[in-house]
Structure 1
Amino acid sequence: MNTTHNYGPGQRVWGHDYAVTRTADGGRQLKVSGWGPLIGPRIREGDYLLLQKDHDRDTRYQVADVRYESDPSDMWHATLNFAPRQAVTKEPR
């Protein structure tokens, strides 16, 4: 099962943050370096990252690949692909 890691608004703090280092395909693919998560499992391929879109909204990307540094051990580099959440609709009665 894939884990969702929240780096959205209010979640970016010392030791739990990221920086976009390159964009491709109009922002549909990102190269990102980051740190964390502070608590919980490490980021793995197939997981989702919620990234800050603006002041109070986030957007979702899926991890295509991730590589961790040995020092500091919580620093990572990843390729992310845009993976918008699907709208939930009610079925007609």
Structure 2
Amino acid sequence: MTTTGLLILTALIIWNIIVFLFYAIDKYKAQHHLWRIPEKVLISQAILGGGLGAFLGGKICRHKTQKTYFIVSWYLGLAIDLILVVLIFKTLLK
């Protein structure tokens, strides 16, 4: 794999870690009655390449698991993540 491919893949991994942290922070804030991260931010992050981080954040932190539109955004984000990874490997392993 080329250096560019590794950088893109690394960026995707880091982004998913950031999204996971957003879910964990929002769960903490919910438990302590603090200012919350807007739902549209969490959903947008999931769809914009952070599907795995959002999915794991929701499941591990037990956060937003009862809201259907969050679950849909997680699976949509996971599909987008999978497509991105396949495209990265497909184009950079030629």
**TM-score, normalising length from structure 1?**
0.25
**TM-score, normalising length from structure 2?**
0.25
Higher relative contact order (CA 8 A, sep 6+): 2
From the two aligned structures, give the one with the greater strand fraction: 1
